[in-house]
Amino acid sequence: MKTLAKLLEATGIACVMIGLLHGIMTGTLWVELYAGIIGVVVFLAGRGLERLHGRKKDVPPLPHGDLKT
């Protein structure tokens, strides 16, 4: 599950970068806008999936007095 989340995050970043490069090369902003929005949505889906996976571990936090240095 964590691998899928990281893959979604990487795909979202790649989509934003491809949209940015396409907008710079062709001068059309619509494709850049759509690719940016889609990239952000995909990235946030991956981030949400990663956070959801992190919450399921149920690891109790250390008390403040037991911090190892």
Coil, strand or helix: which one is 32? helix
Task: Quote the pTM value.
Answer: 0.72
Say what the alpha-carbon torsion angle 9, 10, 14, 17 is, to the nearest 10 degrees. Answer: 70
pLDDT in tens, 15-69: 999 999 998 899 888 888 999 999 999 999 999 998 888 776 655 666 666 556 5
Give the span between the Cα atoms of 33 and 45, in whole angstroms: 18
Q: Where are the domains of the chain?
A: 2-55
The reported pLDDT for the residue numbered 62 is 63
The reported pLDDT for the residue numbered 36 is 92
Residues 11-23 as b/e (b if ≥16 CB within 10 A, e otherwise) read bbeebbeebeeeb
- Name the residue type at position 21: L
